[in-house]
Amino acid sequence: MAGGKGERLYPLTKDRTKPAVPFGGKYRIIDFVLSNVINSGIHSIYVLTQFKSQSLTEHLLENWQMGTILADDFIIPVPAQMRTGDSWYRGTADAVYQNEHLIKRHRPDLIAVFGADHVYKMDIREMAKYHREKEAHVTVATFPMPKSEAYRFGVIQVDGDWRVTGFQEKPAENPETIPGQPDKVLVSMGNYIFESKILLEVLKADAEESGSMHDFGRDILPASFKKIRLYAYDFRRNKLPGMASGEPNDYWRDIGTIESYWESNMDLRSVLPTFNIYDRYWPIYAGRSFAPPAKFVHDAEDRKGQAINSVVSEGCIISGSKAIDSVLGPYVHLHSYSVVEQSVLLENVEVGRGARIRRAIIDKHNVIPPDTQIGYNEEDDRKRYFVSSSGIVVIPKASKYERSPYIPSS
């Protein structure tokens, strides 16, 4: 499911859908769920797209081609085609309903319906095994959250066997907690495994409901849990290769706001990051790259190329400058005497000589003129840029700065 607008991530979603937003240097957000699916041995994948999908479609075509003659090995983007009426996708459930012919064509036993806009690692085979053990019709992946955070989420109620018994939509008071864990509530991750026959039945019933928003979490599951065997799967029990015995799988992030995007990127550059992108047992794929290695040049006392507690992607040139606590995408060029701190710079950003940048997110193809200061005076920043509620400066893709002939060489 890769059709979300991602309005709270604006202006990073000004020209692209949320799953296509770059993340962690060389990746897009969708790369994490696709890597989970591929690493889980699932090779028949449809990506349902809708809003501002050009960037996402190009990314899939350039980086996610299976390169095989096997009929069941594919990753195919599926745009809204109005197959069932005059509307685009009206919700997550309607998106699948409009493409039910694809399900009928392959006749699978199980269907995994996963969102494409979260960052985490998950072996889907573990969830499918649990689904079969419970003889479930539908299984929803869930993540425990502190009871104090319940008002922000839809809360799923379960019995002692983790069969779903009810739903609470953003309860302000008295949220239903997890049996045996009075300080935790269960929230849906937006990932589901369905028996194919059941999925087709509930989609058809929902399509005939005129008042429905045609959403899995808001409509399908709350309307169905009394009629079918619906179970919750505790994401923490998901075991990945290389994990120590008893170690919980407890990293899942909804990169839904500028603040969460910045914080999640900042976590990656930590000495011991909570989310390890260097895990060889569970690689995160991002296609083949023909970019050259990163380069650090100059070693004078006041002109030294350095990256400290930072993630630096291929093709970067750190020339007599400093990147501190930052994440740099491919082909970022920091000219001499510039300093970038606690910032996320996406592909092909050029920072001019002597510029200083702090707590900023700079989208692709921007050229920052020499001696510019960003993130040091919020009042001035708000006159020139987008600034989030917490003071993070965001410069949209291909902003007003053109490539300037007066930016000197490094």
Structural domain contains residue 110: yes
Structural domain contains residue 118: yes
Domain final position from 224, 251, 268: 268
| 241 lies in the same domain as 324 | no
| 90 lies in the same domain as 185 | yes
Residue 75, amino acid: I
Domain final position from 233, 268, 303: 268
CATH number assigned to the domain comprising residue 98: 3.90.550.10
| 237 lies in the same domain as 363 | no
Indicate the number of domains in the chain. Answer: 2
| 322 lies in the same domain as 248 | no
pLDDT tens, residue order, the chain (410 aa)? 898 888 999 999 999 999 999 999 999 999 999 999 999 999 999 999 988 999 999 999 999 987 777 778 999 999 887 665 667 788 899 999 999 999 999 999 999 999 999 999 999 999 999 999 999 999 999 999 999 989 888 899 999 999 999 999 888 888 999 999 999 999 999 999 999 999 999 999 999 998 899 999 889 999 999 999 999 999 999 999 989 888 999 999 989 899 999 999 999 998 888 899 999 999 999 877 889 999 999 999 899 999 999 999 999 999 999 999 999 999 999 999 999 999 999 999 999 999 999 999 999 999 999 999 999 999 999 999 999 999 999 999 986 554 444 445 56
Q: How many residues does the chain have?
A: 410
| 343 lies in the same domain as 261 | no
CATH number assigned to the domain comprising residue 311: 2.160.10.10
Contact yes or no for 357/368 (Cβ under 8 A): yes
Structural domain contains residue 169: yes
| 220 lies in the same domain as 308 | no
Question: Could you tell me which residues are beta bridge partners of residue 76?
Answer: 46
Provide the pLDDT for residue 79.
87
SS3 of the chain: CECCCCHHHCCCCCCCCHHHCEECCCEECHHHHHHHHHHCCCCEEEEEECCCCHHHHHHHHHHCCCCCCCCCCEEEEEECCCCCCCCCCCCHHHHHHCCHHHHHHHCCCEEEECCCCEEECCCHHHHHHHHHHCCCCEEEEEEEEEHHHHHHCEEEEECCCCEEEEEEECCCCCCCCECCECCEEEEEEEEEEEEHHHHHHHHHHHHCCCCCCCCHHHHHHHHHCCCCCEEEEEHHHCCCCCCCCCCCCCCEEECCCHHHHHHHHHHHCCCCCCCCCCCCCCCCCCCCCCCCCCEEECEECCEECEEECCEECCCCEEECCEEECCEECCCCEECCCCEEECCEECCCCEECCCCEEECEEECCCCEECCCCEECCCHHHHHHHCEECCCCCEEECCCCCCCCCCCCCCC
Structural domain contains residue 274: no
The domain of 380 spans 295-395
Provide the pLDDT for residue 23.
97
> In what order do the strands lie in the sheet containing 367-368?
295-297, 317-319, 333-334, 350-351, 367-368
Q: Is the pTM of this model over 0.85?
A: yes
Structural domain contains residue 112: yes
| 61 lies in the same domain as 203 | yes
| 253 lies in the same domain as 332 | no
Structural domain contains residue 1: no
What's the CA gap between 1 and 113, in Å, rounded? 7
Structural domain contains residue 210: yes
| 245 lies in the same domain as 342 | no
| 229 lies in the same domain as 316 | no
Provide the pLDDT for residue 83.
61
Domain final position from 250, 268, 286: 268
| 173 lies in the same domain as 248 | yes
Structural domain contains residue 410: no
Query: b/e map of 288-323 (b: 16 or more CB within 10 Å)?
Result: eeeeeebebebeeeeeebbbeebbbbebbbbbbbbb
| 304 lies in the same domain as 249 | no
What's the CA gap between 142 and 43, in Å, rounded? 24
Provide the pLDDT for residue 82.
63
Provide the pLDDT for residue 404.
45
